[in-house]
Chain A
């Protein structure tokens, strides 16, 4: 079939009338969290329509994955959602393990859980800082990063890298926990609890903050489900769906933790859900550290990893449900590796959420979705 160029479809936004203004937010903009372009049609300050335009960070991850053996794809997975690299590697590694029928030893599963929940805390810290920064409370950004630094130091001691770890492998993890890991983590968690109180005092009860986020960017539960939302966006709307609880993977079914659900579907609810997730993650980490068994940190993957069949593996990342659809045809490279990114899906909600809001609210809404463009564009 002849290669078609793109001429299908109607133009993105209808032509503006007299007093309406077509404004471009991004791709270079201090608060679009990466290279995101949002086309706004505004009437004064009121947004009439908003359409995201993406693709500025497309790095052909899926095409590259078709030409690399499985272990070499794992670093690429890191770089999709670079703020939550472990949970980006995990679905891929899980999918490969299913296709190759590899057992992951218990200790490795526990390590994965601990590292993933630490990653969740790190990601939420950054989200908190960036969200506060966008709303004008600059200092909160620096406080969040102060906490994050300690966490990144722990990650560096464990995996060798601060942000893009390349730590998970088919069958386990790359290396075992270092001596003193548990002490470091416990110290960090205790400190974090105090700091979380500080954050709550700084933002949560503040009148100005509440007026900026309450009632903004409302998503109803039906809308959220229909638009495929997941993670805090879905839970903020009141639907208690968490992949770790609904379809438990790894050893999550051994831990007691709650799934915070927001009261209404607005920015404030999503904020509260994420703030509560800090505490839930801390619970999981503490339980995991208490119960971690001795054993191997790596299973027995086959020497030649020939992938056969297809599978869809999903994981709960800080942003939502990350999925990898992996298709193998007997070779060492995947035949197809599709990465289902939660933020890609959430961007579709930008239009419904922004209607009738002010431009200043746009910033709050984008911040509440917690967008990472690396994941959206891959």
Chain B
């Protein structure tokens, strides 16, 4: 692509910029489409677990349900609560969308196909997940609503706590692969299922999965938007399209953490017969399915138990995992 642009006689920097923008548009389109698919999948999975069909009226198998919902949401009245801090209120959905999208930059769709395969891939992931916290705080605070405030406070506490465990398990992955680059991590897992990191890193996998669920605000860790307690938490005052953005961002988050789980522990886009990108999607969607299964089965955890789990259980386990990984790497040579 880059060579073709150069061939038209364009200045290399301009070609770079255009390429970058094209990739950005591609990613956002990809996110929007996947969110469409994911939302429908969630509703169908929920339906089946609950012994009912899920959406099945619009289109074969309910295919167009999400599209119809999106059209409805876009056409709603745009309400801004009267006492709200307008600038912050309007910016919060933007920030959360940016945070979710930014994580996708390093996700490898193929052995060396990521939007930008950064040398510091792991550090980048650890850094960008922190922006989520900011977005939730902005949304809750600016809404001028006590319930939103409570939701965003809970959310900030939750995200910060689980991020430590998340990052610690990432360190173990880096140690296993000997590099921070995601393509290197994938390369280290090549050559068959026995090389997947999930086996030596079973503990790390569990920690990363749980922390990922918490970072993505998925049940049983969905306190910030716990419907039955906080009405809708930080989301309460958002309606119409702005709420749709939050919703989209939630699914983008879910998908990125599933994709990362697949990348770090399940070998990423690698597997026999089918092209790598197909394997990438298979593995990602498998993890997503498990996450949805968990959501519709388990009750919600209470905030203080959540904090206990994050600090007293996951972090010590992550540290133990680090120790074990160190020994393993030394022994492996």
Indicate whether A and B are direct neighbours in the complex (CB within 8 Å). Answer: yes
Q: Is B91 among interface residues, defined by CB-CB distance under 8 A?
A: no
Contact B299 A135 (CB under 8 A): yes
Residues of chain B lying within 8 A (CB to CB) of residue A203: 299
Contact B228 A30 (CB under 8 A): yes
Q: Is A136 among interface residues, defined by CB-CB distance under 8 A?
A: yes
Contact of B299 among A23, A29, A30, A212 (CB under 8 A): A212
Q: Is A251 among interface residues, defined by CB-CB distance under 8 A?
A: no
Give Cα A21–Cα B153 distance, bound, in whole angstroms: 14
Residues of chain A lying within 8 A (CB to CB) of residue B298: 136-137, 206, 208
Query: Which residue of chain A has the shortest Cβ distance to B49 in the bound complex?
Result: A139
Query: Which residues 180-198 of B sit at the A interface, judged by CB distance below 8 A?
Result: none
Contact B226 A136 (CB under 8 A): yes
Q: Is A363 among interface residues, defined by CB-CB distance under 8 A?
A: yes
Contact B231 A29 (CB under 8 A): yes
Annotate B267-279 by CB proximity to A: 1 below 8 A, 0 otherwise. Answer: 0000000000000
Q: Is B302 among interface residues, defined by CB-CB distance under 8 A?
A: yes
Give Cα A335–Cα B154 distance, bound, in whole angstroms: 54
Query: Which residue of chain A has the shortest Cβ distance to B47 in the bound complex?
Result: A142
Contact A358 B303 (CB under 8 A): yes
Contact B51 A136 (CB under 8 A): no
CB B217 to nearest CB in A, in angstroms, measures 13
Q: Is the interface of A mostly helix, strand, loop or mixed?
A: helix
Residues of chain B lying within 8 A (CB to CB) of residue A137: 297-300
Give Cα A24–Cα B236 distance, bound, in whole angstroms: 14
Give Cα A44–Cα B231 distance, bound, in whole angstroms: 17
Contact A132 B303 (CB under 8 A): no
Residues of chain B lying within 8 A (CB to CB) of residue A45: 150, 154, 303-304
Q: Is B305 among interface residues, defined by CB-CB distance under 8 A?
A: yes
Question: Which of A23, A135, A209 counts the most B-chain CB atoms under 10 A from its CB?
Answer: A135
Contact B146 A30 (CB under 8 A): no
Residues of chain A lying within 8 A (CB to CB) of residue B49: 139
Query: Which residues 221-259 of B sit at the A interface, judged by CB distance below 8 A?
Result: 222-223, 226-231
Contact B50 A208 (CB under 8 A): no
Residues of chain B lying within 8 A (CB to CB) of residue A139: 46, 49-50, 296-297
Q: Is A252 among interface residues, defined by CB-CB distance under 8 A?
A: no
Q: Is A177 among interface residues, defined by CB-CB distance under 8 A?
A: no
CB B160 to nearest CB in A, in angstroms, measures 16
Give Cα A268–Cα B49 distance, bound, in whole angstroms: 26
Query: Which residue of chain B has the shortest Cβ distance to A202 in the bound complex?
Result: B297
Query: Which residues 38-53 of B sit at the A interface, judged by CB distance below 8 A?
Result: 46, 49-52
Q: Is B219 among interface residues, defined by CB-CB distance under 8 A?
A: yes
Contact A363 B147 (CB under 8 A): no
Q: Is B102 among interface residues, defined by CB-CB distance under 8 A?
A: no
Question: Which of A21, A138, A143, A363 counts the most B-chain CB atoms under 10 A from its CB?
Answer: A138
Give Cα A21–Cα B147 distance, bound, in whole angstroms: 11
Query: Which residues 169-212 of A sit at the B interface, judged by CB distance below 8 A?
Result: 202-203, 206, 208-209, 211-212
Q: Is A31 among interface residues, defined by CB-CB distance under 8 A?
A: yes
Q: Is B220 among interface residues, defined by CB-CB distance under 8 A?
A: yes
Question: Provided the pairs A21-B146, A23-B146, A359-B150 are in contact, do residues A136 and B220 lie with their beta carbons within 8 angstroms?
Answer: yes
Contact B52 A142 (CB under 8 A): yes
Contact A31 B228 (CB under 8 A): yes
Q: Is A259 among interface residues, defined by CB-CB distance under 8 A?
A: no
Contact A30 B231 (CB under 8 A): yes
Give Cα A202–Cα B230 distance, bound, in whole angstroms: 24
Question: Provided the pairs A139-B49, A146-B51 are in contact, do residues A208 and B299 lie with their beta carbons within 8 angstroms?
Answer: yes
Question: Provided the pairs A29-B231, A31-B228, A139-B50 are in contact, do residues A358 and B302 lie with their beta carbons within 8 angstroms?
Answer: yes
Give Cα A363–Cα B227 distance, bound, in whole angstroms: 11
Q: Is B131 among interface residues, defined by CB-CB distance under 8 A?
A: no
Query: Which residue of chain B has the shortest Cβ distance to A209 in the bound complex?
Result: B299
Contact of A143 among B46, B51, B220, B302 (CB under 8 A): B51
Q: Is A49 among interface residues, defined by CB-CB distance under 8 A?
A: no
Annotate B293-321 by CB proximity to A: 1 below 8 A, 0 otherwise. Answer: 00011111111110000000000000000
Residues of chain B lying within 8 A (CB to CB) of residue A136: 219-220, 222, 226, 228, 298-300
Give Cα A359–Cα B153 distance, bound, in whole angstroms: 13
Residues of chain B lying within 8 A (CB to CB) of residue A211: 301-302, 305
Give Cα A298–Cα B187 distance, bound, in whole angstroms: 83
Give Cα A266–Cα B297 distance, bound, in whole angstroms: 24
Contact of B50 among A29, A142, A359, A361 (CB under 8 A): A142
CB B198 to nearest CB in A, in angstroms, measures 24
Give Cα A21–Cα B220 distance, bound, in whole angstroms: 27
Query: Which residue of chain B has the shortest Cβ distance to A133 in the bound complex?
Result: B228
Contact B300 A135 (CB under 8 A): yes
Q: Is A242 among interface residues, defined by CB-CB distance under 8 A?
A: no
Contact A360 B51 (CB under 8 A): no
Annotate A2-41 by CB proximity to B: 1 below 8 A, 0 otherwise. Answer: 0000000000000000000101100001110000000000
Give Cα A146–Cα B49 distance, bound, in whole angstroms: 13
Annotate B151-170 by CB proximity to A: 1 below 8 A, 0 otherwise. Answer: 00110000000000000000
Contact of B302 among A132, A134, A146, A212 (CB under 8 A): A212
Annotate A119-148 by CB proximity to B: 1 below 8 A, 0 otherwise. Answer: 000000000000011111111001100100
Contact A134 B51 (CB under 8 A): no
Contact of B303 among A21, A24, A31, A360 (CB under 8 A): A360
Contact A30 B227 (CB under 8 A): yes
Residues of chain A lying within 8 A (CB to CB) of residue B226: 136, 360
CB A186 to nearest CB in B, in angstroms, measures 23
Give Cα A360–Cα B304 distance, bound, in whole angstroms: 10
CB A352 to nearest CB in B, in angstroms, measures 20
Give Cα A289–Cα B227 distance, bound, in whole angstroms: 43
Residues of A bordering B, CB below 8 Å: 21, 23-24, 29-31, 44-45, 132-139, 142-143, 146, 202-203, 206, 208-209, 211-212, 358-363
Known: A137-B298, A142-B51, A211-B302. 13 other contacts (CB 8 A): A31-B228, A132-B299, A137-B299, A137-B300, A138-B46, A138-B50, A138-B296, A208-B299, A208-B301, A209-B299, A358-B303, A359-B150, A359-B229
What are 9 A-B contacts with C-beta separation under 8 Å? A21-B146, A30-B228, A31-B229, A135-B228, A135-B300, A138-B50, A143-B50, A208-B301, A363-B229
> A-B pairs with the 7 shortest C-beta distances?
A136-B300, A142-B50, A137-B299, A135-B299, A31-B228, A136-B299, A134-B228
